[in-house]
C-alpha cells in the first residue's frame, strides 16, 4: 500500500487539482456542474471549508480551499465530494469494470481519477499566484480568449471584490507564463 506524504496544517489554504477518469470532458455539462455544486455545498456544510477560488474545465478543476483552524482533513472532504458526484451522475454499476479489477474491487466509479494533487499555500504571494493560475487556466487551455469570458470560475467574484480589473488576463500574467501548478 502506498503512503503519500501530504502536508497537514490545520486552518491552512490549499490548492487542488482534481482530474476526471481518463480525462473525460464531463465537468462543464449542466447536470454534472449542478451535481458538483451540490456535492461541494453538502460536504462544506458537514465538514466546513471555504472555496476561495475555483475553475471548472471539461476534464479537471483547480481550486483554493481554506480549512477551519485546527482541521487539516482535506482528503476526507475530497473523498466525499468525489463519491457524491459519482453517485449523482453515474447509474449504479456504471464503469465499475471499465477501470479494471483494482477499481472494481474498491467499487470506484470511473468518473474521477483516484487521487488528487494538492499544494499547501505558503504566503500571500503564493496565494495570489495560484489564484491567477486558476483564473487564467481556461485561456491557457484554449477554452476562452480571456478569463472574463469563461463562465465556470470565480473570476467574476474577484472582479466584484476589486481583486482584479475586469480586463485582467487579456495579456498572460507573468505568474502564469511558463509556470506550473506548484508555483515553481
CATH number at residue 86: 3.30.70.1290
List the domain range (segments joined by +) for residue 57: 13-123
3-state SS class at 165: coil
Per residue in 89-146, pLDDT (tens digit) is: 875 544 433 555 554 454 555 789 988 999 999 999 999 999 999 999 999 999 999 9
What's residue 67's pLDDT?
A: 97
Nearest to 137 by CA among 180, 90, 77, 89: 180
Mean pLDDT of the chain: 86
What does the chain come to in residues?
184
Catalytic site positions: 152
Classify residue 129: in a domain, yes or no.
no
Decide if 175 is inside a domain. Answer: no
With residue 126 as reference, give the H or E element that holds it: helix 124-140
84 assigned to some structural domain: yes
- CA 181: distance to chain centroid? 12
- Residue 106 falls inside a structural domain: yes
CA distances from 149 to 11, 43, 143, 144, 145 (A): 33, 29, 9, 6, 7
pTM recorded for the entire structure: 0.84
What pLDDT is recorded for position 149?
A: 97
pLDDT tier for residue 6 given thresholds of 50, 70 and 90: low
Task: Answer whether residue 164 is part of any domain.
Answer: no
Rounded Cα distance, 10 and 12, in Å: 5
Residue 182 has a pLDDT of 43
Place of cell 447509474: 91
Q: Tally helices (H) and strands (E) across the chain.
A: 5, 4
Biggest CA–CA distance in the chain, Å, is: 50
For the segment 16-40, what is each residue's pLDDT rounded down to a tens digit? 999 999 999 999 999 999 999 999 9
Number of separate domains in the chain: 1
Amino acid at each position: 500500500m502506498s503512503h503519500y506524504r501530504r502536508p497537514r496544517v490545520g486552518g491552512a489554504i490549499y490548492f487542488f487539482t482534481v482530474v476526471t477518469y481518463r480525462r473525460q470532458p464531463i465537468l462543464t455539462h449542466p447536470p454534472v456542474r449542478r451535481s458538483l455544486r451540490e456535492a461541494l455545498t453538502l460536504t462544506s456544510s458537514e465538514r466546513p471549508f471555504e472555496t476561495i477560488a475555483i475553475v471548472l474545465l471539461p476534464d479537471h478543476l483547480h481550486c483554493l480551499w481554506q480549512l477551519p483552524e485546527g482541521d487539516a482533513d482535506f482528503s476526507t472532504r475530497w473523498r466525499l465530494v468525489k463519491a457524491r458526484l459519482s453517485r449523482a451522475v453515474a447509474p449504479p454499476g456504471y464503469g465499475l469494470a471499465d477501470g479494471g479489477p483494482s477499481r472494481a474491487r474498491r467499487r470506484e466509479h470511473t468518473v474521477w481519477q483516484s487521487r488528487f494533487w494538492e499544494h499547501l499555500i505558503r504566503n500571500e504571494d503564493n496565494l495570489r499566484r495560484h489564484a491567477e493560475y486558476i483564473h487564467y487556466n481556461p485561456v491557457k487551455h484554449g477554452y476562452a480568449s480571456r478569463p472574463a469570458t469563461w463562465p465556470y470560475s470565480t473570476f467574476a467574484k474577484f472582479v466584484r471584490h476589486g481583486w482584479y480589473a475586469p480586463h485582467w488576463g487579456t495579456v498572460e500574467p507573468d505568474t502564469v507564463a511558463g509556470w506550473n501548478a506548484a508555483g515553481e
